[in-house]
């Protein structure tokens, strides 16, 4: 989640370093519950879709195509999603998206019951769900400041992050792996039902979530350009977005071929159910970070956390060479811990610098720059693996080496710069 006020400032040493329990009210609890249910369905759907694809093909390029299809909407539609989120009631938009997701999964469940779906149908579903994600996530990152007080946003963000992780990793994936082992159609039907309940929970949140816009009417294109210009003119945010995108190229290349490598007859030898539990177990580090990451940032410094995080990502990617699921899972927990640390630092930087009326557009522009690179990485992963005769190990080594080099790109970022928008020792004048 992001914070809209350009004048609001967070002091890591005071607000982030000493979190306390605060009752954030009924509206937040409903939003929190909706987020949790939605993320359980997200995690269930992701694993169920991958395992359903493995029943159709084990070709690395075709399997990695699923990740391309899921991530491509951020590249093609993300900017439009940001403009839409800044024009409409964001709560109603989120409800509509949840209802659409429920309908799509219900249709896929019926198609699965009637027969094994083609890989092309799975691609289509991944694209539609990806478009829905651009609209939902952009809106969700922007409504929280209307639900809780500004001085409680850091705590609220931490709780939202925690329930997202639990749903997306602890509950959704093992549930998806378990149900797919019985019937793939039942897994998609369960996801559809969860989205419906989440839609009701979002609808019950009180308040107005339409942003007041100043000036005359503008076109969608003008809105998009304004958001892009703001991101372009902030060198700190621009660098963080590019680094995130480059890291996601490497990580997407790894995860795109991970099912082939992890699930029997792959080297790790996991069953479909075991793969779901493996994904869930790796989230242990992320959940721990949702409670302790802010204190780590306060203790060792935000900029230093960024340097260490990129190195931790590289270790995570190369750890797959160990093949032992327990050893790999332990190192991936370290990686997911630092994913949250990275997100905490970069999210707080955006919270300080982005005004409310631009929040949806800047958030979407940032994610297009960063997440829009995921399809490139997925294609790269599948292509490299096929190029080297199906040897995913080569892909893992190359991606880990590239990620380690990205640590150099974090060196100009300083603690002071993360609070002021300054990059390096020289002051930034917009």
| Mean pLDDT for the stretch of residues 313-320 | 92
Better-predicted residue by pLDDT, 14 or 226: 226
Report the percentage of the chain scoring pLDDT > 70.
89
For residue 95, name the pLDDT band (cuts at 50, 70, 90).
very high
What are the pLDDT digits (tens) for 2-18? Answer: 332 222 222 223 233 33
Better-predicted residue by pLDDT, 104 or 209: 104
Burial class from Cβ neighbours inside 10 Å (0-12, 13-18, 19+) for residue 214 reads exposed
What are the pLDDT digits (tens) for 113-172? Answer: 887 788 899 999 999 998 998 888 888 877 777 787 766 666 676 677 777 777 877 788
So what's the pLDDT on residue 52?
Answer: 84
So what's the pLDDT on residue 359?
Answer: 73
| Mean pLDDT for the stretch of residues 237-245 | 89
What are the pLDDT digits (tens) for 360-383? Answer: 788 778 877 777 777 788 888 888
| Rg of the chain (C-alpha set) | 21
User: Please, what is the average pLDDT of the chain?
Assistant: 81
What are the pLDDT digits (tens) for 196-211? Answer: 999 999 998 877 777 7
Report the percentage of the chain scoring pLDDT > 90.
18
Is the pLDDT score of 387 beyond 80? yes
Is the pLDDT score of 190 beyond 50? yes
So what's the pLDDT on residue 150?
Answer: 65
So what's the pLDDT on residue 14?
Answer: 29
Q: What is the 3-state secondary structure (H, E, C) of the chain?
A: CCCCCCCCCCCHHHHHCCCCCCCCCHHHHHHHHHHHHHHHHHHHHHHHHHHHHHCCCCCHHHHHHHHHHHHHHHHHHHHHHHHHHCCCCHHHHHHHHHHHHHHHHHHHHHHHHHCCCCHHHHHHHHHHHHHHHHHHHHHHHHHHHHCCCHHHHHHHHHHHHHHHHHHHHHHHHHHHHHHHHHCHHHHHHHHHHHHHHHHHHHHCCCCCCCCCCCCCCCCHHHHHHHHHHHHHCCHHHHHHHHHHHHHHHHHHHHHHHHHHHHECCCCCCECHHHHHHHHHHHCHHHHHHHHHHHHHHHHHCHHHHHHHHHHHHHHHHHHHHHCCHHHHHHHHHHHHHHHHHHHHHHHHHHHHHCCHHHHHHHHHHHHHHHHCCHHHHHHHHHHHHHHCCCCHHHHHHHHHHHHHHHHHHHCCCCHHHHHHCCCCCCCCCC
| Mean pLDDT for the stretch of residues 273-279 | 80
For residue 105, name the pLDDT band (cuts at 50, 70, 90).
very high
So what's the pLDDT on residue 408?
Answer: 92
Q: Whole-structure pTM over 0.85, yes or no?
A: no
- Cis check for the bond before 265: say yes or no (omega within 30 of 0): yes
Is the pLDDT score of 428 beyond 50? no
So what's the pLDDT on residue 51?
Answer: 83
| Mean pLDDT for the stretch of residues 289-318 | 86
So what's the pLDDT on residue 93?
Answer: 92
Q: How many angstroms separate the Cα of 335 from the Cα of each of 26, 55, 112, 310, 323?
A: 34, 29, 35, 9, 17
Is the pLDDT score of 283 beyond 80? no
Better-predicted residue by pLDDT, 262 or 143: 262
So what's the pLDDT on residue 197?
Answer: 94
So what's the pLDDT on residue 61?
Answer: 76
Residue among 70, 357, 100, 71 at smallest CA distance from 210: 357
So what's the pLDDT on residue 104?
Answer: 94
What are the pLDDT digits (tens) for 9-43? Answer: 222 232 333 334 445 678 888 888 898 899 899 88
Residue among 82, 419, 360, 371 at smallest CA distance from 237: 419
So what's the pLDDT on residue 3?
Answer: 31
So what's the pLDDT on residue 159?
Answer: 75
| Mean pLDDT for the stretch of residues 421-428 | 58
Domains in the chain, CATH or no CATH each: 15-206+219-420 (1.20.1250.20)
So what's the pLDDT on residue 9?
Answer: 26
For residue 399, name the pLDDT band (cuts at 50, 70, 90).
very high
So what's the pLDDT on residue 15?
Answer: 34
| Mean pLDDT for the stretch of residues 164-181 | 78
């Amino acid at each position: 989640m992001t914070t809209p006020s350009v004048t609001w400032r967070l002091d890591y040493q005071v607000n982030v370093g000493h979190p306390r329990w605060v009752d954030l009210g009924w509206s937040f609890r409903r939003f929190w519950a909706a987020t949790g249910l939605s993320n359980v369905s997200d995690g269930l759907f992701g694993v169920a879709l991958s395992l359903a694809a493995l029943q159709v093909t084990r070709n690395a390029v075709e399997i990695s195509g699923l990740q391309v299809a899921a991530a491509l909407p951020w590249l093609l539609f993300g900017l439009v999603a940001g403009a839409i989120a800044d024009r409409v009631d964001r709560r109603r938009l989120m409800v509509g998206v949840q209802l659409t997701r429920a309908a799509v999964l219900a249709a896929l469940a019926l198609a699965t019951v009637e027969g094994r779906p083609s890989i092309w149908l799975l691609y289509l579903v991944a694209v539609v769900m990806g478009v829905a994600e651009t609209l939902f996530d952009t809106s969700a990152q922007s409504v929280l400041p209307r639900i809780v007080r500004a001085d409680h946003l850091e705590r609220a963000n931490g709780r939202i992050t925690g329930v997202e992780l639990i749903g997306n990793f602890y509950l959704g994936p093992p549930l998806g792996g378990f149900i797919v082992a019985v019937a793939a159609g039942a897994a998609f039907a369960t996801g559809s039902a969860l989205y419906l309940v989440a839609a009701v929970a979002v609808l019950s949140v009180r308040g107005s979530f339409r942003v007041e816009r100043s000036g005359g009417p503008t076109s969608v294109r003008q809105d998009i350009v304004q958001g892009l210009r703001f991101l372009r003119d902030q060198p700190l945010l621009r660098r963080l977005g590019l680094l995130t995108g480059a890291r996601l190229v490497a990580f997407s290349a790894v995860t795109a071929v991970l099912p082939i490598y992890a699930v029997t007859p792959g080297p790790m030898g996991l069953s479909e159910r075991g793969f779901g539990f493996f994904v869930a177990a790796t989230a242990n580090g992320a959940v721990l970070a949702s409670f302790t990451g802010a204190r780590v940032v306060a203790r060792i410094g935000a900029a230093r956390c960024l340097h260490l995080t990129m190195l931790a990502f590289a270790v995570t990617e190369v750890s797959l060479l160990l093949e032992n699921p327990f050893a790999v899972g332990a190192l991936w927990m370290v990686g997911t811990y630092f994913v949250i640390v990275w997100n905490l630092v970069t999210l707080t930087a955006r919270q300080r610098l982005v005004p409310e009326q631009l929040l949806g557009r800047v958030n979407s522009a940032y994610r297009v720059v960063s997440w829009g690179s995921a399809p490139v990485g997925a294609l790269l992963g599948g292509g490299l693996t096929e190029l080297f005769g199906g040897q995913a190990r080569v892909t893992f080594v190359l991606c880990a080496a590239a990620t380690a080099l990205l640590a150099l790109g974090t060196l100009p970022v300083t603690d002071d710069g993360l609070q002021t928008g300054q990059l390096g020792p020289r002051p930034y004048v917009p």
